[in-house]
A = this chain, B = another copy of it.
Amino acid sequence: MVNPDFEAQLAEVARQVEQVLVGRLTDAPLEDEIVRPARLVAAMRHAALAGGKRLRPFLLVAAHRACGGNLADGALIAAAALECVHCYSLVHDDLPAMDDDDVRRGQPTVHKAYDEATAILAGDGLLTLAFDVMAGPDVHPDPAVGLRLVRGLARASGLGGMAGGQMLDLAAEGRHTADGQPLRLAPHAIRQLQAMKTGALLLFAVEAGAILAGASPARMKALADYGRALGIAFQIADDVLDVEADSATLGKAVGKDEAKGKATLVQVLGIEAARRELQAHVDEALASLADFGPEADPLRDAVTFTGARKR
């Protein structure tokens, strides 16, 4: 069952991370910067401060707490860096050449509110800012930890992670068999695509919290298992929502996966089997936390919420 306090906890971390983001998305140039063009800052704010659950920041902060971390401010800053990467990916994925979406979180997408060139640059700016923030001295006093986080963020986001997953997703879209039927990827190919497109950054959120807290190898492994299972559950829930939710609740268009020939497990397995697989991964994520006490309850709540989410 979903903890009735969970959404309030999620909202509180979201508020704190947004404070960090607001502070980083000012008009005032930092040291080594020249000026910050007002239009670009505004487009980046539109992308980064228009709401969202902030699930990745929550996971980072929750994993950090679960491992007894005491650098709460550092975790929030690392979480803000992660969220910059997530927001950049939404801006670029929404572009006309990609998923061509007009609405995101109930607001016009960045290329609709501004223009395409500004949206490309806003995404580029957010991705770059993520590394600036993650490499900051306020994340962790040991620079070796900072570098490890920078590299982990890059690996999770790049060609062997999130960007690569989007490439596979686009390649799978709209392909047809010789007799004109939509080509359906095999379940294992869909799982790999989704492990990259959404799983890698969710997994890294959990790992980053553990790294910041100086977690033991055993705890790191348990949390990585949790993060992987949660990532799969999250994506299946997303695909189920695309079929079942209404667009007002979701804040974006629904039924688009089918219309676009997106590769989802719901399509190839059917909705009931997809729901069972979703629950199996929620259970697996919970089981991987068996050796943790109540300090991991926010992580347990997060995956239960993910399995049951309506938006």
Contacts and interface: CB of A to CB of B under 8 A. Distances in A.
A147 B136 CA distance: 8
Most B C-beta atoms less than 10 A away, residue of A35, A124, A144, A152: A124
Chain A, interface SS category: helix
Interface size class of A (residues with CB under 8 A): 35 or more
Contacts of A308: none
Interface string A137-171: 10000111011001111111111110111111011
A260 interface: no
A69 interface: no
A121 B163 contact: yes
Nearest to A142: B143
Copies of this chain present: 2
Contact of A146 (B123, B147, B159): B147
B159 A36 contact: yes
B33 A155 contact: yes
Interface in A113-139: 115-118, 120-121, 123-125, 127-129, 131-132, 135-137
A155 B32 contact: yes
The 4 A-B residue pairs with the shortest CB-CB distance, nearest first, are A33-B160, A132-B154, A97-B116, A128-B158
